[in-house]
Structure 1
Amino acid sequence: MTHNPDFLIVYGTLRPPFDNTFSQYLRQRGRCVGDGSFAGQVFDMGSYPGAIYQENCPTRVCGTVFDISNQKAAILTYLDYYEGVGDQFEKPTEYIRSVVPVHFNDIVENCWVYLYNLPIDDKPLIESGDYAQHISVPFKWSA
């Protein structure tokens, strides 16, 4: 298992079509390589999603995969701040950065992902596994 992969999968507000400062930063510095998914579930936290990885789960979390190898340290440091990950944040943090196997472009590759790190007992499950679809903002590349 690659413990420091060159890929990142995003499934929420960092994913196109969202256009916040942090998603713009990722798109400017990373290279989108396509849609991907990993085993697990995604939940509606209100104005953003939270996903959990479950190795043998029959459901998938859908996202967009970026090659971040060109500026990996800078990208991850910046996004850690956005996701509230790191020693400077009160524990337990809402998210953790982890490595999971992701299926994209007909391969399985380890990718960084921000996973939800708090109880999900009262959170609504997004059955499609796709947050953008769930909030009716379909993903479309601009021409």
Structure 2
Amino acid sequence: MTSNPDFLIVYGTLRPPFDNTFSQYLRQRGRYVGEGSFTGQSFDMGSYPGAVYQENSDTRVHGSVFEISSQKEAILTYLDYYEGVGDQFEQPTEYIRAIIPVEFNDTTTDCWIYLYNLQTDDKPLIESGDYSVHIGKPFSWPA
């Protein structure tokens, strides 16, 4: 596993069709390289999703992959704030930043990701694994 990958997968409000300040920041500083997926599940948290990585799952979560090597530290620091990740936030945090294997462009590559870090027992499962489809705004690029 790569200890500091150059790629980030986003599956929720950082992905088109969302156009908040943080998603704009990512699109301006990262380079979109394709759609990807990983084994796990995603859940509807109300106005955003949360995903969990499950290595041997039969279900997949879908997202958009960005190459972030040119401004990796700045991008991850900014998005850590958005996702509430880090020691300055009350623990346990809702999300953690992790590295997982992601399939995109016919290969598997380690990517940074923000995974949901709390219980999902009472959260509705997103059956399709794709939050943009779930909310009726299917992904399209360019944003």
Query: For the superposition of Structure 1 and Structure 2, which TM-score range results when normalised by the shorter chain?
Result: over 0.9
Match of 2:26 in 1: 26
Supply the distance in 2 between the matched residues of 1:76 and 1:105 (Cα, whole angstroms).
Answer: 23
Does 2:58 correspond to 1:58? yes
Structure 1: 5+ residue runs without aligned partners? none
Deviation digits for residues 90-119 of structure 1 (CA, Å, limit 9, x no counterpart): 000000000000000000000000000000
Cα deviation digits, residues 42-99 of structure 1 (max 9, x gap): 0000000000000000100000000000000000000000000001000000000000
Aligned alpha-carbon RMSD (Å):
0.9
Cross-structure match for 1:98? 98
Aligned to 1:7: 7
Find out whether 1:140 has 2:140 as its counterpart: yes
- The TM-score, its normalising length taken from structure 2, stands at 0.98
CA distance in 1, matches of 2:142, 2:32: 13
Question: Which residue of structure 2 aligns with residue 71 of structure 1?
Answer: 71
Counterpart in 1 of 2:120? Answer: 120
> Shift in Å at residue 142 of structure 1?
3.9
5 Å-filtered alignment, 1:29-44, equals 29-44=29-44
Distance 2:57 2:89 in 1: 30
Letter in 2 for 1:131: Y
Moved over 2 A (4+): none
Question: If the length of structure 1 is used for normalisation, what is the TM-score?
Answer: 0.98
Task: Describe the SS at the equivalent of 1:64.
Answer: strand
Q: How far apart are the structure 2 equivalents of 1:15 and 1:140?
A: 10
1-structure distance, mates of 2:122, 2:139:
28
Instruction: Identify unmatched segments of 5+ residues in structure 2.
Output: none
